[in-house]
Amino acid sequence: MFVEKRKHQRLKIKLNARIECENGYSSDVKTQNISFGGLYLDLDSTSKILLKEGDICNVTLLLNNEEVENLIPLIFQCKVVHCSERGYGMNFIYIEGLEAYDHFEKMMVLNSDESEALMAELEKNPGLIVSKDE
């Protein structure tokens, strides 16, 4: 019998993103799904798996990517928790700045069919930490 271990529901949100890791790896990628606890990044068919579980990376999600003057970068520090030929599963460690968190929360609520349940879930399992703005 399958037992769901996830604390946060995943939303199928496709965004352009940039991944930059401590091991020097960096790439432009797309998200496959996002939750308040982490995300899954797609690899294209030509990419090789260059990360391993436990690697620490910065992932920048690009909101309003089609409007350069209104581009909103959301920067997360993440830990790789799953690697496959299809992509990387990552848990959020923190997001940089309270304003970025506000944008992230609004994006999640606007993309959810069950926004009230999503917010109730967030109260029960807060997910990521907000780093201080510098």
Instruction: Let me know: does 86 contact 44? Beta carbons within 8 Å.
Output: no
* Alpha helices per DSSP H over the chain: 98-110, 115-124
Q: Give the pLDDT confidence of 42-80 residue by residue, as tens digits.
A: 987 666 778 899 999 999 998 876 766 778 899 999 999
Instruction: Let me know: does 78 contact 38? Beta carbons within 8 Å.
Output: yes
Domains of the chain: 16-125 (2.40.10.220)
What confidence tier does 3 reach under pLDDT thresholds 50, 70, 90? very low
Of the candidates 53, 48, 50, the one whose C-alpha atom is nearest the C-alpha of residue 82 is: 53
Would the pTM of this model clear 0.75, i.e. be above it?
yes
Residue scoring higher pLDDT (21 or 118): 21
Question: From residue 111, how far is each of 56, 79, 108 by CA, in Å?
Answer: 27, 24, 5
